[in-house]
Structure 1
Amino acid sequence: MAARAPSQTPPPDTPPNAHNSDLRAVGTFLDAIAAESGAARNTLLAYGRDLRHAAEWLATRGETLLSADRTEMEGYLIALETEGMARATRARRLSALKQFCRFAHDEGWRPDNPTLRIDGPGRAQRLPGTLSEDEVRRLLDAARDHGPDAATRARNACLFELLYATGLRVSEMVSLPDAALRGAPEMLMVRGKGGKDRMVPLSDPARAAVAVWLAHRDRAEAAVKAAGKPGSKFLFPARGAAGHMTRMRFHGLVKEIATRAGIDPGRASPHVLRHAFATHLLAGGADLRVIQLLLGHADLSSTEIYTHVLDERLRSLVMAHHPLARGI
């Protein structure tokens, strides 16, 4: 909920009955978000339960939602963790507290927002789906044969070879300018999130696929210009408003080619191929920092999730070489 100027709403009553004051404040808060953001009934009920639970816990310590400081708010969250409450539930309760305290501060009910600098537990990080090296080879083979004509097959081969060679995000891939691949470069300059540029090496198979596709693309573009129509600056031009292949079309194409390769299409997507690029590099011994730079991750913690691919490899090494594991 966006910050706004204080309203003329009077603050809730103060002690002698501080807990009732909290409940009235929560009621006012829920009425406000229902009116301002159209929050669903289930959302309002969840916020109400979460805030009442926090108010009850604070009341046992002589505090209220309108008087507790940061230490007391953090104490409540620690208590939830000690009780074994699920990470997602704790994150939701902190979110409710943050929104309530921001509202209370905006309304002038309290002079500060004690939750402002409290970090939540976040959501459990999901391991990325990926494909084996054999499955990727099958996808690449299927891409070369998928399409009604040589130009389409060349485009598909180029898309898949480039994606697996670079680990680009799907939006980065479909919007590549053709100028970035002219002259058979060994490095590709990519404009990533936040307008940040990064350099990504190109493999020989990817460079070869690009060369074949550019020949087809340029012939098609020459015909377009001969007809008096404007050409495209994109490597993968299309007739839509964006001027290039859309993300949705690329997603659909990956599903089609996965089916052709005998791979469950539910396991295949451009993002899964990006994961395969990273996990196969890491399994081959690449440095995690290098993979971070190639993927364009701002934070190394985003890249560290790929270390799960080493779990089975390390286990196999221990089982094969540790003397006790061999039963000696």
Structure 2
Amino acid sequence: MAMSAVLHRHYRAERAISGDGSTYWVVVNEAFELHTEACAWLAGRKDWSYNTQRTYAGRVALYLSYCTEHGMDWTRPSLAQLMAMMRWLIEEPLPAKGRRPAVEPRFRDKGTANKIMGSVGEFLTWSALQGWVPQTVVSVLVQPRFLHHMPSGFDPGEDGQHRTINAQRIKYRVAVPGYEWLSDAEIEKVLDCTTHARDRFLVALLAVTGMRIGEGLGLRREDMHFLPDSTSLGCRVEGPHVHVRRRLNSNNAYAKSPYPRWIPVEAQTVELYAAYRYERDAVAQAESCDMVFVNLFRAPLGEPMKYPSTYELFKRLATRAGFRARPHMLRHSAITRWLRSGVDRDVAQNMAGHQSPQSMDPYTHATGQDKRDAVKLVAAKRKEARP
């Protein structure tokens, strides 16, 4: 039996439901017994979103399973054992999706391996604070590193004492990925590839508002204030807009930011919503659902759309368009467009739902057109300066 299949039988992440109906993630073994330390670590991360908690639960479950398979004490891993796990992460084929075996084996990339080991390091460091893991293990995980180039907003301290940080020791060298975004022409291409009013409205809404996909799927009809005057709805915001709020939703859609916000929309977005409502009203099962985006073409009809089906939708749109098109790329496109159009950073930050001003820095990246325009500008000025 493949090792990956055995590992999944040892520990895995499972969704749990509390007495008040809220959902959270735990780590269990094959007998559905809770891993006490891992569950305590996850329970203490109240500031994490639902999906972030799910990701970290899966990574820690993978580490615990690896330890079980290789006879390791998870509380006392050596540097050699952790480095062996790093190699295993990229060399061991991933299990096939679905029932059919994959034609070509799939592997994790080095960036994913770094993220997994980073999560393992956070878990072990926290466990050391609880007295469950020796401090000598933590010293293996990190090494001091002096920041020669400080990120924007970083406080080095009066004497530069904060410029030496603890950096992850066990990791692969990988290129820093750039932010992927779509041009206006590419967004129009994706819109042209949609075949239903619902899908067209979803793409347009994400592109205009810069919402995260979890925020979009978590919208309810009461959040759509598309009238010129929303006073009758108890809202004083002028013009058509949409409200984004964090809630517990049956489809597990989750707003990352805990702070509610509203985002204005264009007249075209309102028109697309009207077309979608007409399409939706033709499905009787959708009438009683308060969520905005629901299943209209596949069972269960009328139920809220979920992450897996939404990502499958975007995969189909990307195939038709002929280029990568993921939901988060539309968010990057919206924020990039705001900043390039001269929108104040504070306003863009508020609409994006970012808590930190530094979160806006990646969206000020230079494109190939920016560089070409810069060269043309310098050449034009030289030409003007010639006698």
TM interval, shorter chain, is 0.5 to 0.7
- Please name the residue that 1:252 is paired with: 312
- How big is the alpha-carbon RMSD for the aligned residues of Structure 1 and Structure 2? 4.7
- Please name the residue that 1:280 is paired with: 337
The TM-score with structure 1 as length reference comes to: 0.59
Of 142, 161, 180 in structure 2, the residue corresponding to residue 129 of structure 1 is: 180
The answer (yes or no) to whether the contact 1:166–1:200 under 8 Å persists in 2 is yes
Higher normalized helix content (fraction of residues): 1
The answer (yes or no) to whether the contact 2:224–2:242 under 8 Å persists in 1 is yes
Q: How does 1:164-203 map to 2 (within 5 A)?
A: 164-181=207-224, 183-184=226-227, 186-191=240-245, 192-203=255-266
Residues 36-62 of structure 1 show CA distances to partners (whole Å, capped at 9, x for unaligned) of 96485799898424999xxxxxxxxxx
1:106 lines up with 2:169 in the alignment: no
Identity between Structure 1 and Structure 2 (%): 23
The answer (yes or no) to whether the contact 2:67–2:73 under 8 Å persists in 1 is no
Q: Distance in 2 between matches of 1:276 and 1:322?
A: 28
- Please name the residue that 2:189 is paired with: 138
Of 18, 41, 48 in structure 1, the residue corresponding to residue 79 of structure 2 is: 48
Residues 201-255 of structure 1 show CA distances to partners (whole Å, capped at 9, x for unaligned) of 11111111011212332343xx348xxxx71111122355993111121111122
SS at 2:167 equivalent? coil
Q: Which has the higher contact order (CA 8 A, sep 6+)?
A: 1
Residues 106-139 of structure 1 show CA distances to partners (whole Å, capped at 9, x for unaligned) of 27988xx998x95537997532212222111111
Higher normalized strand content (fraction of residues): 2
- Please name the residue that 2:27 is paired with: none
Assess, with a 3 A threshold, how the Cα gap between structure 1 residues 47 and 285 changes in structure 2: closer, same or farther.
Answer: farther
Q: Distance in 1 between matches of 2:224 and 2:121?
A: 49
One-letter amino acid of the structure 1 residue matched with residue 312 of structure 2: G
- Please name the residue that 1:271 is paired with: 328
The answer (yes or no) to whether the contact 1:175–1:245 under 8 Å persists in 2 is no
Residues 257-299 of structure 1 show CA distances to partners (whole Å, capped at 9, x for unaligned) of 2333x322xx111111111222222233333332222221122
The answer (yes or no) to whether the contact 1:132–1:276 under 8 Å persists in 2 is yes
1:243 lines up with 2:306 in the alignment: no
Residues 150-196 of structure 1 show CA distances to partners (whole Å, capped at 9, x for unaligned) of xxx22122111111111111111122112222553611110132532
Assess, with a 3 A threshold, how the Cα gap between structure 1 residues 324 and 141 changes in structure 2: closer, same or farther.
Answer: closer
One-letter amino acid of the structure 2 residue matched with residue 202 of structure 1: V
1:303 lines up with 2:355 in the alignment: no
The TM-score with structure 2 as length reference comes to: 0.51
Q: Distance in 2 between matches of 1:37 and 1:105?
A: 20
* Number of equivalenced pairs: 247
- Please name the residue that 1:120 is paired with: 167
Q: Is there any run of 5+ residues in structure 1 with no aligned partner, and where? A: 5-32, 53-87, 147-152
Assess, with a 3 A threshold, how the Cα gap between structure 1 residues 154 and 105 changes in structure 2: closer, same or farther.
Answer: closer
Assess, with a 3 A threshold, how the Cα gap between structure 1 residues 34 and 182 changes in structure 2: closer, same or farther.
Answer: closer
The answer (yes or no) to whether the contact 1:178–1:234 under 8 Å persists in 2 is yes
Of 256, 260, 270 in structure 2, the residue corresponding to residue 207 of structure 1 is: 270
SS at 1:168 equivalent? coil
Assess, with a 3 A threshold, how the Cα gap between structure 1 residues 187 and 49 changes in structure 2: closer, same or farther.
Answer: same
